[in-house]
Amino acid sequence: EILKKELPEALFISSRLNLPLKFDYNLEQIGADRIANASAACIEHGDNVVVVSIGTAVCVDVVREKVFKWGAIFPGFHLMFSSLSEGTSAIPLVTLDEIPPGFPRRDSQECVRAGVFYSVLGGIRQVLGQVEGSCSVVLTGGDAEILKDSLDFAIYDSDLTFKGMIAIY
């Protein structure tokens, strides 16, 4: 609200703008990042697309025939690591320095690293399994590069959000 007051000429992305897609979704609860990502994905990859944005949170958003239909949101890597560390007394803060190798893991930090990695990957795969019909899948977000090889059927686009902002502008 402060920025809107201080920068009245600025364009703030919202579902109220003239966008390249429509919504079958609660418009009061959709963030500008999700709108920008879905808009760019429709423009670049077709009318039926799933955007998987991997950052602090993982957002999996489904667009059908240029209508934003539904999504799922769950914690990303760093949020899971910090939650485990803060919520337990024996687990230190771990980071995902590299993609963990296969199992078995015989060290607590490696177990946490593997558990978080496969939780995020498995969550994405489970949500994608709920999508009916064929569609393009686009990965974006600060941590998307970590999973691009594990989700090799998806299109990796690190600039999707910026492309959406430009397209909306």
> Which sequence positions are flagged as catalytic?
33
Sheet holding 136-140, edge to edge: 22-23, 67-75, 57-64, 49-54, 136-140, 155-156
First to last CA, the chain: 20
167, 20 contact by CB (below 8 A): yes
Q: Which amino acid is at 79?
A: L
